[in-house]
Each structure stands twice: as C-alpha cells, then as structure tokens.
Amino acid sequence: MGKKDKLTPKQVNFCKWYVVTRNGTQAAIKAGYSAKAAKETASRLLTKVNVLNFIEEEQKKVPDNIPDKDAILQFFKHLMYTSEKETVRMNAAIQIAKIQGFYRNEWD
C-alpha cells in the first residue's frame, strides 16, 4: 500500500465501526468525526477505494454465525413484549434504545 492508499487511524476506526453498525453516520460519530458533519463524512469516506477495501477485509474477519444488528434488535423486541418480568422488559427496552442510538449514559 502506497502512502496515498494508507488510512489514517480515524479512518481505520471508522471502517471498524462501519463493519459493526452498517451505518455510515453512526460509524463516523463513533470514530470521532464531528456529529454535525457525520453523514457527509461517511458518504465521502465510503467513496474511497482504500476505505472500501479495508471494510471488505474487516468483514471477512466477522464469523457468519454472529447475529446482525436486526437479529439482535428482534431478540430484544421479543423480550420486551413477551417477558413476564418487568426488569427484563425494561432492560430490553434500554438495549433497543442503545441499538437505535437513542440512549446515552455517561457510565456505559
């Protein structure tokens, strides 16, 4: 990889978060880019060949049997609506809020 092809540490962080979240805006924010410009930053990064190549390589490292975000979300929704225990329902609701990006806790 030439100097031009090399990713910055922040770009590497973006790529790794993108593999996890499959959401460019969220990945940009989690990687440390400005929240105001996250959507534009993600859009720009996802047009770079070296970024796309890195993401592709990172995705190959993810085992096929790990549930994706939608499967995890469905699991917590099921718990929230079917559990008889209020604490289970509440914890499921919190997990859903975290997955959707609505929950922020300084202690997490």
Per-residue pLDDT of the chain (108 residues; tens, 9 = 90+): 455 579 999 999 999 999 988 899 999 999 999 999 999 999 999 999 999 999 999 988 877 767 778 888 899 999 999 989 999 999 999 999 888 888 766 655
pTM over cut 0.75:
no
- pLDDT on residue 20: 85
* Domain boundary assignment for the chain: 7-60, 69-100
64 Cα distance to chain centroid = 17
Give the amino acid at 104: R
- pLDDT on residue 63: 76
- pLDDT on residue 107: 58
**CB atoms inside a 10 Å sphere around CB 70:** 10
Distances (CA, A) of 18 to 7, 11, 42: 15, 10, 9
CATH architecture of 7-60: Orthogonal Bundle (1.10)
- pLDDT on residue 4: 55
